[in-house]
Homo-oligomer: A and B are copies of this chain.
Amino acid sequence: MRTVHVELGERSYPIYIGSGLLPQAAAYLIKHGLSVKSPHLIVTDDKIAPLHLETLKSSLEGAGFRFVISIVKSGESSKSLSVYEEVMTTAIQGGLDRNSSVIALGGGVVGDLAGFVAATYMRGISFIQMPTTILAHDSSVGGKVAVNHPLAKNMIGAFHQPELVLYDLDTLKTLPAREVSAGLAEMVKHGLIKDKEFAYWCKEHASELLLLDLDALGYGLERGVAIKAEVVSQDEREGGLRAILNLGHTIGHAIEAVGGYGEFLHGEAISIGMAGSALLAEALGRGEGIYTETTAMLTSLKLPVVLPDHLNEDDLMAAMMHDKKFKEGTLVFVVPDSIGSVSIVKDIPQTLVRDILKQLRKGGKVNV
């Protein structure tokens, strides 16, 4: 088993990564002081529940834990205020008190939703994450929890750190291929922003990663999580540095919003967004060849890098204006300097962004 410690002072917590962890869930909860007197809330979705809920339940029941369960519909549509209210209702009816905790069994959507419930139920109770996707390795570090507003993604949320993260690699075996690739998008992103060697490692081990080889996956998740933890430790509340984690996210979020949250997986959207950031870097005269290098890495992981035709340019621009990264009237982008290093560039003109979108649609650096 691998353990990564996220250092955040009194809010520090460990991420346990390994095989066979879910059947031992209760032991980890006891180790971390979870109350057996107070009821807990498990939040999961209708795709994960049939696969892994029984394993978690048996472990908890065997140790005398009491709990209620909220099973939400799989997918981004569950990150809504109405589903949030339903989960709150389950928590209240289940009698959760201040010593209770919310356990997220699932991917990023379940983690974000359950985390926002934990952050705001009785003004904040304990939160435990049990990720079942590769993508969730990203959201399990940093305490960013949120639901979507119909006008913009992740607009309603909080910073709420988990008590612990239990990452059972066995739960990844049932992931559809498309979700594997989408999850690896965030993994390679961590290399692209801060660790050149790791970015190339992801490309070199792409086939093992895509086949969910436990060794490669264990190492990749450990390294991805550790890079993110390093950034978050230095900037818990996203005052500055932490924004580098948003590489590919300005365009990526717009793609998700215009596509209607569901057409694109988050990892697919930010993959196109990272290709866009590489084009932007070249347009700004930063490091020739970044676009080719970046897209080679992304395509090795079977990720999309071309903006689909049916996403209207004006709609994408409008969505970017609503994004949290649109600050005081100017567009802010995370732009690569080279593979493994990025800068935050403010005051990007809207006309340049439109040019990049046009190039991105053609699949590369062309005159448009």
- Closest chain B residue to A93, Cβ basis: B151
A208 to chain B, nearest CB (A): 36
Contact present for A35 and B157 (CB under 8 Å): no
Q: A120-B156, A120-B157, A158-B124 are in contact. Are A81 and B85 (CB under 8 A)?
A: yes
CA distance A329 to B238 in the complex (A): 39
9-residue interface stretch from A193-201, A215-223, A319-327: A319-327
A9 to chain B, nearest CB (A): 13
Q: Is A144 an interface residue (CB 8 A)?
A: yes
Contacting residues, chain B, for A175 (C-beta < 8 A): none
CA distance A322 to B144 in the complex (A): 28
Contact present for B324 and A97 (CB under 8 Å): yes
Q: In chain A between 153 and 182, which residues have their CB closer than 8 angstroms to a CB of chain B?
A: 155-159
A159 to chain B, nearest CB (A): 6
Q: In chain A between 57 and 115, which residues have their CB closer than 8 angstroms to a CB of chain B?
A: 81, 84-85, 88-89, 92-93, 95, 97-99
Q: Is A310 an interface residue (CB 8 A)?
A: no
Number of interface residues of A (CB under 8 A): 39
CA distance A108 to B158 in the complex (A): 22
Contacting residues, chain B, for A35 (C-beta < 8 A): 328
- Closest chain B residue to A100, Cβ basis: B328
Q: Is A341 an interface residue (CB 8 A)?
A: no
- Closest chain B residue to A147, Cβ basis: B120
CA distance A85 to B89 in the complex (A): 17
Q: A88-B149, A92-B149 are in contact. Are A98 and B327 (CB under 8 A)?
A: yes
Contacting residues, chain B, for A31 (C-beta < 8 A): none
Q: A81-B85, A92-B152 are in contact. Are A158 and B97 (CB under 8 A)?
A: no
Contacting residues, chain B, for A324 (C-beta < 8 A): 97-98, 122
Contact present for A155 and B121 (CB under 8 Å): yes
A61 to chain B, nearest CB (A): 19
Contacting residues, chain B, for A99 (C-beta < 8 A): 327-328
Contacting residues, chain B, for A89 (C-beta < 8 A): 149, 151
Q: In chain A between 9 and 64, which residues have their CB closer than 8 angstroms to a CB of chain B?
A: 35, 37-38
Contacting residues, chain B, for A93 (C-beta < 8 A): 151
CA distance A89 to B149 in the complex (A): 8
Contacting residues, chain B, for A124 (C-beta < 8 A): 158-159, 237
Q: Is A146 an interface residue (CB 8 A)?
A: yes
Contact present for B81 and A151 (CB under 8 Å): no
A128 to chain B, nearest CB (A): 19
CA distance A321 to B39 in the complex (A): 14
Contact of A146 among B123, B151, B157 (CB under 8 A): B123
A220 to chain B, nearest CB (A): 28
A98 to chain B, nearest CB (A): 6
Q: In chain A between 273 and 303, which residues have their CB closer than 8 angstroms to a CB of chain B?
A: none
- Closest chain B residue to A157, Cβ basis: B123
Encoded as 1 (CB less than 8 Å from any B CB) or 0, chain A from 231 to 264 comes to: 0000001100000000000000000000000000
Known: A120-B156, A123-B144. 8 other contacts (CB 8 A): A37-B328, A81-B81, A88-B156, A89-B151, A95-B321, A97-B326, A122-B324, A123-B158
Give residues in A with beta carbon < 8 Å to B. Answer: 35, 37-38, 81, 84-85, 88-89, 92-93, 95, 97-99, 119-124, 144, 146, 149, 151-152, 155-159, 237-238, 321-322, 324, 326-329
Q: List, sorted by A's number, 12 A–B pairs whose CB atoms are closer than 8 Å.
A: A38-B328, A81-B84, A85-B149, A88-B156, A89-B151, A92-B152, A92-B155, A92-B322, A98-B324, A119-B158, A121-B155, A123-B157
